[in-house]
Homo-oligomer: A and B are copies of this chain.
Amino acid sequence: MNTPLKGAAIIGQSGGPSAVINASAYGVIKTALENENITKVYGANHGIKGVLNDRLLIMDEEDPKELERLLYTPSSALGSCRYKIADPDVDDTDYKRILEIFKKYDVRYFFYNGGNDSMDTCAKVSRYMAKVGYDCMVMGVPKTIDNDLFGTDHCPGFSSAAKYIATSIMEVCRDAQVYDTGMITVIECMGRHAGWLTAAAQLANAMGEGPDFIYLPEVDFDMDKFVAEVSQRYKENGNCIVAVSEGIHYADGSFVSEAKTAATDGFGHAQLGGLAAMLANVMKEKTGAKVRGIELSLLQRCAAHCASGNDIQESFMSGKVAVESAVSGITGKMVGFECEREGGYVCKPKLFDLDEVANFEKKFPREWINKEGNGVLQPFVDYALPLIQGETPMVKENGLPRFCKLKKVFAE
């Protein structure tokens, strides 16, 4: 083992929030604050933009007890951004600025907490620092409810979103079947390109209370087939509940949500409502049934009150291991997971090359979808069920969550 670098650390968060992204950040912050080689811990306000704009929050100034609440606080407590950093070979302006800030604060450790794009940012910063000979350990801490990161068994954030989706769908299924008059219910889950989140509806089915059909973006959507399947089931049971991914698309690649079908609006006007409302309306016109479209919307990615206990622990672990690895001289890696499921679930941290992770999207396996393309199979349940185990130990105040409130003391 090399002599550890001595200097400050920056942790930044990027991309869409999750229920547990702050648990990862807390893993980094707590471990870094306790490490003798790390002289100061900064939080970048709004991700890499916080570095570029010299907006750094001093984590050492925060109350440790308050910081602990990050474990149960959704969204990105440090602020997030969606900023695509340029290729340094094309335009190195941002990188020069980052280097300037790193030098200014003697930053020797950089941790970046996010999804595909964030791992790309991380990889580029890592390469640039190596190229210019500035000693800095760069580590990626994964987060994405979409569960589409390459290599890792699963992504922190997915498990909690899956738990919320399965729970909410179980509850909605009870509600949607309460009358004897029948209804067609369409529930829309997130997932623009990968069907992992929507597949979580199958966990509700594993409890005996799920949707009739599940449509993922990994299978081309066919409106006629959809109408026939849902109509048939409604005719048989007097009721039908379906879960759809926001990213379902026709064979030509066009999103169903953006299509202007004659059934929804003959004049071709863009629809205000989302996909669920649109599909519900199609079914209403075709069957005359009472319909309801439900979009789980932001709720599914920020429902800390229903987070998975395993997810919280694993998210913390990925942040902690990122710091420990960096201090031991490792750089340019993302801390993902390697899991065993036979003979009991075990989740261990595993390092992946940032270059390999960045900008790949891991699709939902076609072989976990049924032949008809309208359902999810048992191997997914076996995969996902361990991830959603355990409850959040969130302590409430006044019957409501009490989220972390940072003092937000800026450097300088």
Q: Which residues of A contact B (CB under 8 A)?
A: 17, 46, 49, 73-76, 79-82, 163, 166-168, 170-172, 174-181, 203-204, 206-209, 264-265, 267, 269, 271-274, 277-278, 281, 292, 294-299, 301-306, 308, 385, 388-391, 396-403, 405
**Contact indicator A178/B80 (Cβ below 8 Å):** yes
Known: A167-B400, A403-B209. A302 touches B172 (CB 8 A): yes
> Contact: A203 with B167, CB < 8 Å?
no
Further pairs besides A75-B178, A166-B400: 11, Cβ < 8 Å: A17-B174, A79-B180, A171-B302, A206-B398, A207-B398, A207-B401, A208-B405, A269-B269, A277-B277, A308-B399, A388-B400
Output the least CB separation between A20 and chain B (Å).
12
The answer to whether B277 touches A273 (Cβ under 8 A) is yes
Q: Which residues of B contact A405 (CB under 8 A)?
A: 208
Q: Identify the closest chain B residue to A203 (Cβ).
A: B400
Distance of A264 Cα from B270 Cα, bound (Å): 11
Contact of A171 among B177, B281, B299 (CB under 8 A): B299
Please state if B81 and A180 are interface contacts (CB–CB under 8 Å). Answer: yes
Residues of B within 8 A of A273 (CB): 271-274, 277
Q: Name the CB-closest residue of B to A22.
A: B174
Tell whether, in the assembled complex, residue B400 and residue A168 are in contact, meaning their CB atoms are under 8 Å apart.
no
CB of B171 within 8 A of CB of A305, answer yes
A396 touching B391 in the complex, CB below 8 Å, given contacts A292-B297, A298-B172: yes
Check A301 against B17 for contact (C-beta < 8 Å): no
- Complex interface: chain B residues within 8 A of A79 (CB): 178-180
For the complex, give the distance between the alpha carbons of A303 and B306 in Å.
11
Which chain B residue lies CB-closest to A179?
B80
- Report how many copies the assembly holds: 2
Contact residues in B for A206 (Cβ distance below 8 Å): 398
A168 to B305, CA, bound (A): 8
List residues of chain B with CB within 8 A of the CB of A76: 178
CA of A168 to CA of B298, assembled, Å: 10
Contact B174 A75 (CB under 8 A): yes
What are 14 residue pairs bridging A and B, where the CB atoms are less than 8 Å apart in the complex?
A75-B171, A75-B178, A168-B303, A171-B401, A175-B302, A176-B298, A206-B398, A209-B403, A264-B272, A294-B298, A295-B295, A385-B398, A389-B398, A389-B399
Q: What is the minimal beta-carbon distance from A230 to any residue of chain B, in angstroms?
A: 17
Asked whether, in the complex, the Cβ of B399 is within 8 Å of the Cβ of A174, the reply is no
Which residue of chain B is the closest to A45 with respect to CB atoms?
B180
Also in contact, A299 and B299, with CB within 8 A (given A207-B397, A207-B401): yes
A296 to B300: give the CA distance in the assembly, Å: 12
Whether A168 lies near B299 (C-beta < 8 A) is yes
Q: Shortest distance in angstroms between A191's beta carbon and chain B's nearest beta carbon?
A: 17
Please report the C-alpha to C-alpha distance between residue A294 and residue B190 in the assembled complex, in whole angstroms: 13
The residues of B that contact A403 with a CB separation of less than 8 Å are 170, 174, 209
Would A400 and B278 be within 8 Å (CB), given that A17-B175, A179-B81 are in contact? Answer: no
CB-defined contacts of A17 to chain B, threshold 8 Å: 174-175, 178
CA distance A273 to B170 in the complex (A): 24
Inter-chain CA distance A273–B402, complex, in Å, is 33
Contacts of A176 on B, CB cut-off 8 Å? 298
* A277 contact set on B, CB distance < 8 A: 272-274, 277
Task: Look across to chain B and name the residue whose beta carbon is closest to the beta carbon of A299.
Answer: B168
Minimum C-beta distance from A402 to chain B (A) = 7
